[in-house]
Amino acid sequence: MSDLNRIKVYKYKNIAAALAVMLLSLVALSTSCGKDASDKKASSKKSDTAESSVVVEEDKDSGKGSRLTKNYKYKEMKSVGEGLLVQVDSAHPFTGTLGETEALYPYLFTKDGVMLMAAGYPSDEARTDMLRQLNNLAVDFKGYCGLDTLMVTSLIPDDENTAKTDEAYIGSCADLMINVDGEYKEFTGTEDYAWIPNNCYKYGFVMRGTNRLRYVGKEAAACIRDMGLADGPADFDTLLADIKEYSFENPLYFTADNGVQYAGYFVPLSDEATTSIPIPTRSDESELNHFISGNNVDGYIVFADLSGETDLTTTDG
């Protein structure tokens, strides 16, 4: 082989070797970059601490999201037997306190003194927050159909010597009848009166049976309605059972008819003297408006107002 041909062969071999080295370098660089990116992602997840106040995006498929906010405070609660959402039955009698109460009589009228409904015992007392919303409901019901024939037959049972296994002892239930010209009829929630079971959630009530209104607060009533729209018929017992699937780390997000957005979650009862309830806060460490109630069994139900537009009642135990 001539020297010229040798030079050409060596030249091509050198070029091929150089290309091979370049290719190996690119593969190594790509692998290194991929590893760095993975390490950065892992590092980002580990640095997701409680100092930031970003609301985590909801998982739209499950209704759950990650932690409600990354900023939060703890509120210490002492008794699961206090609040609007307590379960009361033979196994879980009511042992809590009523809170602020007033007589029913003034709430039977409009602000102008026009009769809205009758009462079997006008001097009976009940929770003030419930009576205010009952009056609002009666005003709108009369505006809807012109009737003032609703009658409140019972609020809180009289017998204090027995175990309080009737939920009416909590002071936020109203049993209804119809009073037409002195003739008392059963309240069935039909015809014009169907407006009440169809609209009572707007005032924070749920129906318990056919003739009892129970005030649970607008937050819980909106949550129950949302559950019903999403999964079929839902009631107060559905809320008590299903809310236990949600936590501060994975809350239930829902929106009320008025556009207010909420998050709901459950906090199990602690073995300690008090239970620490995480309350979401803004970046300035101010608490979001929130509602807390014990369930009278094994924990606390919490609703947080994500819009900040509505004042929610906090029940401290």
Q: Where are the domains of the chain?
A: 55-85+233-317, 93-215
3-state secondary structure of 162: coil
> pLDDT-based confidence at 245, cuts 50/70/90?
very high
Query: Which position has the higher pLDDT, 53 or 222?
Result: 222
* CATH dotted code for 93-215: 3.30.1380.10
What is the average pLDDT score of the chain? 82
CATH number for 55-85+233-317 (one of 3.20.20.120, 3.30.450.40, 1.10.3720.10, 3.30.200.180): it is 3.30.200.180
pLDDT tens-digit map of 263-289 = 999 999 999 999 999 999 988 899 999
**pTM across the whole model:** 0.78
The pLDDT value recorded for residue 308 is: 61
Handedness of CA 258, 263, 269, 275 (dihedral sign): negative
Least confident of 30-44, 53-67, 211-225: 30-44
Query: Which ranges constitute the DSSP H helices of the chain?
Result: 3-46, 128-145, 195-199, 218-231, 236-242
Pull the structure tokens for residue 114. 């026009």
pLDDT tens-digit map of 212-223 = 999 999 999 999
Cβ neighbours around 33 below 10 Å, total: 10
